[in-house]
Amino acid sequence: MTNMSAAHSTNPLRDPQDRRLPQIAGPCGLVLFGVTGDLARKKVMPAIYDLANRGLLPPGFSLVGFARRDWANEDFAKVVHDSVRENSRTEFREEVWKQLAEGFRFVPGDFSDDVAFDKLRQTIEELDTTRGTGGNHAFYLAIPPSFFGDVVGQLKEHGLSEGPGDAWRRVVIEKPFGHDLESARELNKVLSDVFPSESVFRIDHYLGKETVQNILAMRFANAMFEPLWNSNYVDHVQITMAEDIGIGSRAGYYDGIGSARDVIQNHLMQLMALVAMEEPTSFDAASLRLEKQKVLSSVVLPKRLDLTTARGQYAAGWAGGEEVVGYLDEQDIPPTSTTDTFAAVKLNIETRRWAGVPFYLRTGKRLGRRVTEVAVVFKRAPHLPFSSTQTEELTENALVIRIQPDEGMTIRFGSKVPGTAMEIRDVNMDFAYGGTFTEVSPEAYERLILDVLLGDPPLFPQHEEVELSWQILDPVLAHWAKKGKPEQYEPGAWGPDSAHAMLARDGRTWRRP
C-alpha cells in the first residue's frame, strides 16, 4: 500500500504547492456499490460527472457499478446518464459524457457472490490495461452499514484490497458509523482488518460544504475575531440543523436511528469541534484531527440530563400550507415507535477557552424552515449608559454562519436609529457567497470524492473522532431510553416545549432562523 505522500506524488499534472487551480486526480477508477440507491443516483454519479466536466478527473477515469441487476454495461451507462441529466450541477456536454462513458463497466451480483467478485477483479485488471487506471481504485460503499463487513471481506478474499506495486486502494463509507460506541468500535475493527486507517474515508458531506470550511478561514485568517473567541466575550453557541420536511420514504433507514444519531453525533459535533478548536499548526489532516479530538475529549455532559436535553416526535397538523401526518402515522412506522424526530442537547467544553460557555445543539424534522447555522452569541456590554426605552429592542451581538441554504455570514450589532434621540436598535451586516463571488461553489460530494481520489483526508473524520462523539451521545440515548415516548410537537414549530424550557432555565432563548 502506498503512503499519503506517495499518493500525491503519482499526480504529475499539477504542482501540489500551486494553489491557483484545483488539483487533478492521477490515473484511477472508482467502484460504486449500491448503484441503484438514492445516494448513488442523486449525489455520487452527478458529482463524478461534474468533476469530469471541470477537468478534474484523468482522461482514463473508470466507474464500475456493482449491484444485483441483470444489466449490461450499456444499461448502467443509461442509469448514470439519467442521474447526471437530472441532478448534475454543471451543464451537460456531449464530448465530456462520451469520454467518461467509455470507462463505465457493470458487474452483476450480490455481496456473497464469489463469482461476481472474481468478475470485479477481472474488470479492474482490464481497466488497468485499457484505460490506464494504474491499479489505483477506490471502493465506494453506498450501501447499508450492515453490509460493510461482507463487502470488505470479499474485497480482501479476492485480492482487491491491495493494488499492485505502489498502486493504492481505498474504501469510502457513509454514515451512520455505528449506532453507539460499541458498534462503532466493531465497525472500525471490520475496516481496519482489511484497510489501513489512512485508506479509510468516512464521508460526512457537511464537512465538504464551502461555508463549513469557511469557519476555519473566518477564524484563523482574520485577526478581528480571535481576540473575542473565548469565554470572556462569548455567552453561548447555538448550532442548528433544521428541516421542514418529514421522513418521506426513509422509514426503513430512519426509524430506530432518529435525529440524535443521524445528525448530532456526526454533523453537529463536527461543526462544534471546528468552532471550538484551537488553531492547528497547519491545515493538514493530522493537525486538524488532533485539534478536533482535543475538543471532543474535553466535552462534559451536565449532570441533570432531564433538564439539559430534549427530544420529540412531530405530530399531525399543517405545514407549508398543507395537512401532514404525524410521525407515528407515516408509512411503515410502528405505532409504538419511540424514535426521536427532534433532539437537543446542552454540552460543556471544559477548556480554558470555553469554560462556562454552553454549546446548544439541536436538530429536527418538520420544523419552521430548512436551515443549518452556527450562531456565536456574545455577552451583553457590561455597562449601557442608555435608558431602558432607548435599547428596548436591543439583543446580544451575534455572529451567525449560515451553512445552508443561503450560504454566508451575518453579524448582528446595535446601531443608532436615525433621528435626534439616542435610540439603539439591532441591525445586521450580511455577507452572502452568491452575491460576492462569481464562482459557483462545487457540491460537497464533488470536493469529497476528489479528495478521496487524491488521497487528501483533512475533511474526513477518523475513527477516534467517531468514537469520542459516541462517548458523548451514548449517555443521552441511554437516559432517553428510560423515559419512554418522546414529547409531541406541532409541525412548523421549533420543537417540543421541553426544548424551549431547556434554554429558559439558563435565561436564554433559541434563535428563530
Task: For residue 426, give Cα distances in angstroms to 78, 143, 232, 392, 395.
Answer: 54, 48, 22, 10, 7
Residue 3's pLDDT is 40
- What average pLDDT does this structure show over 232-237? 96
Compare 7 and 500 and report the one with higher pLDDT: 500
- What average pLDDT does this structure show over 248-268? 89
Residues carrying CATH 3.30.360.10, the chain = 208-504
| 499 confidence band (pLDDT: 50, 70, 90) | very high
Q: Express each pLDDT in 55-71 by its tens digit.
A: 999 999 999 999 988 89
pTM > 0.95: yes or no: no
Residue 373's pLDDT is 94
Torsion angle, CA of 299/305/309/313, rounded to 10 degrees?
Answer: 130
On the 0-12 / 13-18 / 19+ scale of CB atoms within 10 A, 178 is: buried
Q: Which of 300-309, 330-339, 457-466 has the lowest mean pLDDT?
A: 457-466
| 334 confidence band (pLDDT: 50, 70, 90) | very high
Q: Express each pLDDT in 173-196 by its tens digit.
A: 988 888 999 999 999 999 999 999
Q: Which DSSP string do the residues of 174-214 spell out, in sequence order?
A: ES---SSHHHHHHHHHHHHTTS-GGGEEEE-GGGGSHHHHH
Judged against a pLDDT cut of 60, whether residue 213 lies above it is answered with yes
Task: Give, rounded to a whole angstrom, the gap between the first and last alpha carbons of the chain.
Answer: 48
Separation of alpha carbons 231 and 237, rounded Å = 11
Judged against a pLDDT cut of 80, whether residue 5 lies above it is answered with no
Torsion angle, CA of 282/283/286/292, rounded to 10 degrees?
Answer: 100
What is the Rg, in whole angstroms, of the alpha carbon atoms belonging to the chain? 24
Judged against a pLDDT cut of 90, whether residue 312 lies above it is answered with yes
The distance from CA 498 to its chain's CA centroid, rounded to whole angstroms, is: 27
Residue 296's pLDDT is 97
Residues carrying CATH 3.40.50.720, the chain = 4-174
Buried/exposed 376-414: b ≥16 CB within 10 Å, e otherwise: bbbeeeeeeeeeeebbeebebbbbbbbbeebbbbbebeb
Instruction: Choose which CATH entry (3.30.360.10, 3.40.30.10, 3.30.160.250, 3.40.720.10) describes domain 208-504.
Output: 3.30.360.10
Name the average pLDDT for the chain: 88
Residues acting as catalytic residues: 267
- What average pLDDT does this structure show over 316-333? 93
| 268 confidence band (pLDDT: 50, 70, 90) | very high
Compare 260 and 421 and report the one with higher pLDDT: 260
Name the CATH architecture for the domain at 4-174: 3-Layer(aba) Sandwich (3.40)
Q: Express each pLDDT in 400-455 by its tens digit.
A: 999 888 888 888 877 767 776 666 667 777 777 666 655 666 788 998 999 999 99
Establish how many alpha carbons lie within 13 A of residue 134's alpha carbon, considering only the half-sphere containing its beta carbon: 17
What is the CA angle 290-443-277, rounded to 5? 20
Q: Express each pLDDT in 143-183 by its tens digit.
A: 988 899 999 999 999 999 999 999 999 999 988 888 999 99
